[in-house]
Chains A and B, each alone.
Chain A
Amino acid sequence: MFRFPQRGYCFCIGDVIIMVRVELKEATKYYGERRGVEDINLSINDGEYLAVLGPTGSGKTTTMYLIAGLLSPSKGSILFDDEDISNVPAEDRSVGFVFEEYNLFPRMTVESNILFGPTVKDLNLIESRKISRELLALLNISGKEPNYPDEISGGQKQRVALARAIVSDARILVMDDPLRALDAKIREILQVELRKLVKDLGITCIHATHDTQEAMRVADRIAVFKDGMIVQIGTPEEVYNHPNSLYVAEFLGEGSTIEGKIDDIKEEKYLVLQDGSRINVETDLQKDEEAIALIPGELIDVYPISMKKKLNYHNIFEAVLLDVRCVGEFNELDLEIFGSRFKAKDLIGKEIPLKKKSKVLVATDKDDYRIFPKKEGKMINKKKSDRIINSNTQVGIDGSSVKKVKKK
């Protein structure tokens, strides 16, 4: 395989940027009988930040290892810029890998840790040291070069691990839940820093996480995994607003679910609940089909009971407000509607003149509900599913229809 000379970074004006398109074609990995991943088709564009999202055991780490070359696929292939590298060893793939554990050498200083790769690869050390300094400055840890790992904090260690992964020729950055071991606050800060770094350097990045918010914060696109397969892939907005299954909807957005039967009167569709309540919804499901509706908390609007005549919504129900909690950027409201517990979210900043245990009005529009047939859990909403198909073809295997953005 062609080896790139040590590359310049995009913040070094005049140098060429080398970015890589990563493709997985029907990549499958079995550990003996057990499935790691199956039939993964994925195309990650040059300079794109992709988040791989799923619960523990959904195949995230396997996918990361396949791309980095720490595992080889049982079937299928992995391509970098159309070249099959399935059998190229990890050290020749120019992939920088960041693990959940920092894996720094405890007896080496920060700088020697970072320069370890360039040293064993026999790269120009003067140049590498310069890049290392620039990376540390970008990561807000300038001046820590002479320190040892046990003298710096967890967040700083992971920043060093990141610099080390990038400094030696990495064209692709693969990160397996890199922030999991860190405190929530430092995680928030590093999410923003990570995205900024990847975008500034223009490298291709794949980041596995089980945290939906993290995936949304860092990534251009999100691939949602379940049981070793990709169930949906798209921009954060697509997967969040137009989930293609109940699984994706529940994993991405905190919401409440209700079950019922579809009924129609004239053009309008209704979800009829067991107690006879009717909710106006938008769906392509037919009359009498059993359905599950999910409504994200932030789409539920709550008003005092006196407002009844002033509201203009498709659905207005009376509910009991069980609890109001201020949880940071929004208030969480526990409501009892139709005998079950619903959670609404309201951005703070607004006054809520509502009292606990009081009766309130819950207002929703018909397109706020995501309706899935009870059996399959698949999205049946024509307009929305069309959009999903479009987004899938846009990012399809050949990657050709994808608009390429290269930085100067």
Chain B
Amino acid sequence: MSEIRFQHVTKIFGKSVEAVKDLSFIINDGEYISLIGPSGCGKTTTLRLLAGTILPTEGEILFDDQPMQNVRIQDRNIGFVFQHFAIFPHMTVSENIAYGPTVRGRSKREIEPLVEKALKSVQMSNKANLYPDSLSAPDWQKTALARVLASEARILLLDEPLGALDQKIREEFQLFLRDLVKREKLTAIHVTHDQAEALTISDRVAVLNKGRLIQLGTPSDLIYNPNHLFASFFVGESDFLEGVIIDDSAENAEVRIGQSLIKVNNMGVEKGKRVAVAVRREFFQVEPITTKGLTNSLPGEVIEDKFLGLLRRIRIKLENQQIIEAKIHAKHPVQFKENEKVIINIDPSVTRCFDFPKEGIVSALEM
């Protein structure tokens, strides 16, 4: 069992730098959680608080209902993997893996099966006697993982573990990592700046910004039901249509955007309020101007239709001069031309409606 509970945890560095503020959440036993957010959002601080290398200024962290305030790092039953492969260059793979149990005073007879099992688990049995300099980067990271397994930690902390790997290898390693954590029944907390990685790998994802927890939810929660402007900006790609609420009485509220009226998800924003309607770029339905029967749409003009492999990205200028990007399937039958007039249809149920930030979208999100 290793359930982790944060209770109103605040960490202040120096006199006034609030690295994390009032964090409260629970990580269940065996769960894979990712922490995402821009640089300086507090994700690494959260990880360090968990590890015990720093202590909270206020609040408490509990492992299985047991307060961790006075528990030393080595007694917290946790393992680390960092971006930079902290493995000993003068030791072979298996010596590296045996290091943890050795310093803990385990006997050689106890250590051997542990190392063997860990090597097998990360598919490195055939490389046990090699030195790190003859291995590739993914193998270093596997060695680091095996070392955690051999130390019999139940909680795995990962700080940008795939940060130094090339894109292609990263994608393969993500699945490997998830499989490993699930197979070994570890509780994993993974810090990354890459939202696609977080969504691929985790059961739930925590979005942090400026030291605060914005949203903690499953990948599909974050995609379909972001509860904050920042969450819908940071996870996936969205455009924010600026408008004013005209009618808030029905299930779908009516918003004026430029000259057009469209229906959006009524999220309790009041009539007359300026709003930012968030729409995921893949949810815009782009059709030629002649298309009939589209009931909830905005007119626009195509700037560019660019092929991206799986998708095409259509840049469109709306009537109010705002530029949006729609992502459509690469197999969409229509190839759009520059300056072509189009209709952008929006399904009200996929929109999210937030108060318009006073300082404007660009500065509110610090793009």
The chain A residues found within 8 Å of chain B, CB to CB, are 55-56, 140, 153-154, 183-186, 188-189, 192, 210-213, 216-217, 235-237, 240, 251-254, 296-298, 325-330, 332, 334, 345, 347-349
A277, B309: Cα distance in complex, Å: 29
Known: A216-B309, A327-B196, A327-B200. 19 other contacts (CB 8 A): A183-B194, A185-B38, A185-B195, A192-B325, A210-B166, A212-B168, A216-B308, A217-B313, A235-B307, A237-B307, A240-B307, A240-B309, A251-B168, A298-B310, A326-B218, A328-B196, A328-B237, A329-B280, A347-B329
A43, B129: Cα distance in complex, Å: 49
B208 to chain A, nearest CB (A): 13
Chain B residues with Cβ below 8 Å from A253 are 309-310
Chain B residues with Cβ below 8 Å from A186 are 38, 367
A217, B312: Cα distance in complex, Å: 9
Are B308 and A325 neighbours in the complex by a CB distance under 8 Å?
Answer: no
Are B167 and A212 neighbours in the complex by a CB distance under 8 Å?
Answer: yes
B144 to chain A, nearest CB (A): 20
Contacting residues of chain B (220-267) with chain A, CB-CB under 8 angstroms: 220, 223, 234-237
A345, B327: Cα distance in complex, Å: 15
Is B117 positioned at the interface, with any CB of A under 8 Å from its CB? no
Chain B residues with Cβ below 8 Å from A347 are 282, 310-311, 329
Given A140-B362, A349-B282, is A328 in contact with B306 using a C-beta cutoff of 8 Å?
A: no
The chain B residues found within 8 Å of chain A, CB to CB, are 38-39, 166-168, 171, 175, 193-196, 199-200, 218-220, 223, 234-237, 280-283, 306-311, 313, 325, 327, 329-330, 350, 362, 366-367
B138 to chain A, nearest CB (A): 13
Q: Smallest CB-CB separation from B220: which chain A residue? A: A326
A211, B220: Cα distance in complex, Å: 25
Are A325 and B219 neighbours in the complex by a CB distance under 8 Å?
Answer: yes
B123 to chain A, nearest CB (A): 15
Chain B residues with Cβ below 8 Å from A140 are 362, 367
Are B307 and A348 neighbours in the complex by a CB distance under 8 Å?
Answer: no
Chain B residues with Cβ below 8 Å from A328 are 195-196, 199, 223, 235-237
Given A326-B199, A327-B200, A328-B235, is A298 in contact with B330 using a C-beta cutoff of 8 Å?
A: yes
Are B313 and A183 neighbours in the complex by a CB distance under 8 Å?
Answer: no
Are B200 and A325 neighbours in the complex by a CB distance under 8 Å?
Answer: yes
Are B166 and A185 neighbours in the complex by a CB distance under 8 Å?
Answer: no
A369 to chain B, nearest CB (A): 16
A188, B283: Cα distance in complex, Å: 18
Given A216-B307, A237-B307, A326-B219, is A188 in contact with B199 using a C-beta cutoff of 8 Å?
A: no
A390, B38: Cα distance in complex, Å: 45
B329 to chain A, nearest CB (A): 6
Chain A residues with Cβ below 8 Å from B308 are 213, 216-217, 236
A47 to chain B, nearest CB (A): 15
List 7 A-B pairs, minimum CB-CB distance, nearest first: A183-B193, A326-B220, A326-B219, A184-B194, A237-B307, A327-B199, A298-B310
Chain B residues with Cβ below 8 Å from A345 are 310
Chain B residues with Cβ below 8 Å from A325 are 199-200, 219
Chain B residues with Cβ below 8 Å from A192 are 325
A211, B165: Cα distance in complex, Å: 11
Given A327-B196, A348-B282, is A217 in contact with B39 using a C-beta cutoff of 8 Å?
A: no
Q: Smallest CB-CB separation from B312: which chain A residue? A: A237
Chain B residues with Cβ below 8 Å from A296 are 310
Q: Smallest CB-CB separation from B171: which chain A residue? A: A254
A349, B281: Cα distance in complex, Å: 11
Are B327 and A329 neighbours in the complex by a CB distance under 8 Å?
Answer: yes
Which of A56, A184, A210, A297 sits near B193, CB closer than 8 Å?
Answer: A184
Chain B residues with Cβ below 8 Å from A251 are 168
16 example contacts (A-B, Cβ-Cβ < 8 A) are as follows A183-B193, A210-B166, A212-B309, A216-B307, A236-B308, A237-B307, A251-B168, A325-B219, A326-B218, A326-B219, A328-B235, A329-B281, A330-B310, A332-B200, A334-B175, A348-B223
A327 to chain B, nearest CB (A): 4
Q: Smallest CB-CB separation from A331: which chain B residue? A: B220
Chain A residues with Cβ below 8 Å from B367 are 140, 186, 189
Chain B residues with Cβ below 8 Å from A298 are 309-310, 330
A209 to chain B, nearest CB (A): 9
A1 to chain B, nearest CB (A): 35
